[in-house]
Amino acid sequence: MEKVMGILERILLPVADKLNNNRYLTALRDGFMVALPLIIFGSIFVVIANFPFLDQLLTEEAFTTYQNALNPASAATLSIMGLFVIVGIGYKLVEQYQLDAVYGGVVALAAFLILTPQVVEDVSGVIPTASIGAEGMFLGILTAFISAELYRFFVQKNWTIKMPDGVPGAVSRSFSALIPITLTLFVFLVIRIIFSYTPFDTVQNFIYSVIQQPLTALGSGLPATIIAVLLIQIFWFFGLHGQIIINSVFDPIWYALNDENLQAFQSGSELPNIVTKQFIDTFLVGMGGSGMTLSVIILIFVIGKSRQLKELGKLGAPAGIFNVNEPIIFGLPIIMNPLIIIPWLVAPVVITIITYFAMATGIVPKPAGIIVPWTTPPILGGFLATGNAWQGAVLQAFNLMVVCLIWWPFLKILDKNYYENEEPS
Chain positions contacting other proteins, by CB under 8 A = 13, 16-17, 20-21, 29-30, 33, 236, 239-241, 243-245, 312, 315, 319, 322, 324-333, 335, 375
What backbone torsions phi and psi does residue 337 show, to the nearest 5 degrees?
A: -100, 105
Between residues 31 and 369, which has the closer beta carbon with respect to other proteins?
31
Under DSSP, the state recorded for 76 is: T
User: What's the Cα-to-Cα distance from 50 to each of 41, 219, 265, 286, rounded to whole Å?
Assistant: 15, 28, 10, 22
| Residue closer to other proteins, measured from CB, 157 or 314 | 314
Measured from the CB atom, the residue of 5 and 244 that comes closer to other proteins is 244
Task: Report the 10 Å Cβ neighbour count for 158.
Answer: 10
Which residue(s) pair with 120 in the sheet?
A: 123
Residues 6+ apart with CB under 8 A from 55: 63
As a dihedral over the C-alpha atoms of residue 273, residue 279, residue 280, residue 284, rounded to 10 degrees, the angle is: -150
Comparison of 173 and 241: residue with beta carbon closer to other proteins: 241
Which C-beta is closer to other proteins: that of 160 or that of 375? 375
59 vs 98, beta carbon nearer other proteins: 98
Contact yes or no for 340/371 (Cβ under 8 A) = no
Question: Least distance from C-beta 115 to other proteins, angstroms?
Answer: 28
Torsion on CA atoms 134, 136, 139, 142, rounded to nearest 10: -60
Which is nearer to other proteins, 289 or 365 (by Cβ)? 289
- Note the residue count of the chain: 425
Question: Nearest distance from residue 376's CB to other proteins, in Å?
Answer: 13
Query: Residue 2 to residues 5, 8, 110, 336: CA-CA distances in angstroms?
Result: 5, 10, 54, 9
Nearest distance in Å: CB 394, other proteins: 27
CA distance readout (Å), 309 to 128, 203, 297, 391, 417: 56, 57, 9, 33, 11
Least gap, CB of 317 to other proteins (angstroms): 12
Q: What is the CA radius of gyration of the chain?
A: 25
CB of 9 to other proteins, least distance (A): 11
In angstroms, give the least distance from the CB of 407 to other proteins. Answer: 17
